[in-house]
Amino acid sequence: MKLKQTIQTLVYKAAYVTVYALSLLPMSFLHAMASLTFFAAYYLIGYRKEVVIQNIARSFPEKRYGEVQAIVKKFYSCFTAYFAEIIKSVSAPAELLDKKITFKNLELVDYYIKSGRDVIACLGHCGNWEMLNFMPYKIPHKVYAIYKPLRSAAMNKLMVRVRSRFGMELIPDSAVVRHVLAKKSPPALYLFLADQCPATKEEKYRFTLLHQDTYVFSGMEKLARADRAAVVYLHITQISKGSYNLACMPVCADAGAFTEGEITQKYVDLLAENIREEPYGWLWTHKRWKK
């Protein structure tokens, strides 16, 4: 066991040093690396290309073949560029990132928290969602991100370190209910990425997303209702290469006042709107509708 822990520690340190060293390279060089990765992923390897084409074609049945192909190609270009941006953010000064990310209506979060309510922010894998790590720099309240720990202890430790650079605190998905409902910490903002396929499918949480029957995680809504939290949607779009706009959109001021499924329906509608506005920005490689 000690040997395994030692190896994991060495792997973590080596990975962090490597990523940090890469982050010191000029952004132009990182973008060039991203372009090479795009060429390999799109033209040579075709990484999950059939899944991406199928997902986009079914989500936008009104689009012609050429339009679908254009979205697919731009998705791969943006997707590979995201990794270059994430690497750069490991060492980039806060002042630089502040120029790259525009936040709108964050005063809504401040209002809810100051009124004594937790705020649950639901979002999708739109744009470079990893840039949300910068959010604690922008608001004077605790910001927690709910995540599923990686199997590799070394990679999990690396992920936590990178995401917590600006004060983000990560909570494993298995511990979030106890953390929130125990009320041992002051009101805060909790980030939920809720657009992946849940392991447990509940009929009450089956909705139509982009013309397809879609099961959605129920945990976000159930926790919000139990906590009587305010709920917002984080609408992420790309302004230009490496620059993003994040708009905080209200869903409800008191989740406890809504019946089961209503909040998730609102989330699904806002997610669909976000995807339609920028179809190449969503994570299409995920086998969202595999069953």
144-161: per-residue pLDDT in tens? 999 999 899 999 999 999
Let me know: does 251 contact 120? Beta carbons within 8 Å: no
Rounded to whole angstroms, the Cα distance separating 238 from 244 reads: 4
Residue 281 pLDDT: 95
Residue 221 pLDDT: 96
What are the residue ranges spanned by the domains of the chain? 2-281
Taking the CA atoms of 258, 261, 263 and 266 in sequence, report the sign of the dihedral they define.
negative
Given a cut of 70, whether residue 273 has pLDDT beyond it is yes
Let me know: does 56 contact 68? Beta carbons within 8 Å: yes
Rounded to whole angstroms, the Cα distance separating 181 from 175 reads: 10
Taking the CA atoms of 118, 130, 201 and 215 in sequence, report the sign of the dihedral they define.
positive
| Residue that is written with structure tokens 């990560």 in the block | 170
Residue 1 pLDDT: 67
Given a cut of 80, whether residue 125 has pLDDT beyond it is yes
What value, to the nearest 5°, has the Cα angle with vertex 240 and ends 234 and 243? 55
Given a cut of 90, whether residue 224 has pLDDT beyond it is yes
Rounded to whole angstroms, the Cα distance separating 158 from 8 reads: 11
β-partners of residue 232 are 121, 250
- Give the helix ranges, DSSP H, for 63-105: 65-89, 94-100
Rounded to whole angstroms, the Cα distance separating 217 from 201 reads: 8
Residue 200 pLDDT: 83
Rounded to whole angstroms, the Cα distance separating 277 from 245 reads: 13
Given a cut of 70, whether residue 291 has pLDDT beyond it is no
Rounded to whole angstroms, the Cα distance separating 127 from 225 reads: 28
Q: Coil, strand, or helix at residue 232? A: strand
Rounded to whole angstroms, the Cα distance separating 141 from 135 reads: 10
For the chain, what is the mean pLDDT? 94
Burial label for 121, CB within 10 Å (0-12, 13-18, 19+), is buried
Tokens of 3: 């040997």
Residue 140 pLDDT: 93
Rounded to whole angstroms, the Cα distance separating 113 from 209 reads: 30
Residue 3 pLDDT: 79
Provide the residue count of the chain: 291
Rounded to whole angstroms, the Cα distance separating 127 from 277 reads: 11
- Give the helix ranges, DSSP H, for 121-218: 153-163, 176-181
